[in-house]
Amino acid sequence: MKTKQGGSGARRRANRDKRLCHYGGFFAKTKLATGDKEKRTSFRTRGGSAKTATDSVVWANLSVKGVTKKVRIKNVLLCPANRHYARENIIIKGALIETEEGKARVTSRPGQDGVVNASLVKE
């Protein structure tokens, strides 16, 4: 990134410091659970509200033609954000997962919503 310079070539002083509110949050790293236990943690957000992060997940809410079913997640097939996430079974928004009903695309953010919502993909 190029820094701003004045007409004399001297560098300008920043008009403000970094703020704590501008820092990014943590990465929840929602993984596919090996057993039947799901694990969630809640954390405080700006303004005092709370969000729920899913640490490990077994089930997904699958939407098929307007009907929602609770199905078991078998595997993470593909993750467009990072190819290593599929290998580690990390579930994020946009990931392609294998369920009991077939392939599905994750539409929620499990690290911030506390649940995995998905819609069935036509094969």
**11 found inside a domain:** no
Q: Who's near 103: CB < 8 A, 6+ residues apart? A: 77, 96, 97, 120, 121, 123
Let me know: does 41 contact 122? Beta carbons within 8 Å.
no
Q: How many structural domains is the chain composed of?
A: 1
Q: pTM to 2 decimals?
A: 0.79
**8 found inside a domain:** no
The CATH number that applies at residue 62 is: 3.10.290.70
The domain in which residue 75 lies consists of 27-120
**37 found inside a domain:** yes
Helix%, strand%, coil% for the chain, nearest 5 = 10, 40, 50
pLDDT digits (tens, 9 = 90+) for 80-120: 999 999 999 999 999 999 999 999 999 999 999 999 999 99
**90 found inside a domain:** yes
Mean pLDDT of 66-75: 94
* AA letter at 81: A
28 SS3 class: coil
**63 found inside a domain:** yes
> Given a cut of 60, is residue 18 above it in pLDDT?
yes
Beta bridge partners of 79: none
C-alpha closest to that of 58 among 39, 42, 77: 39
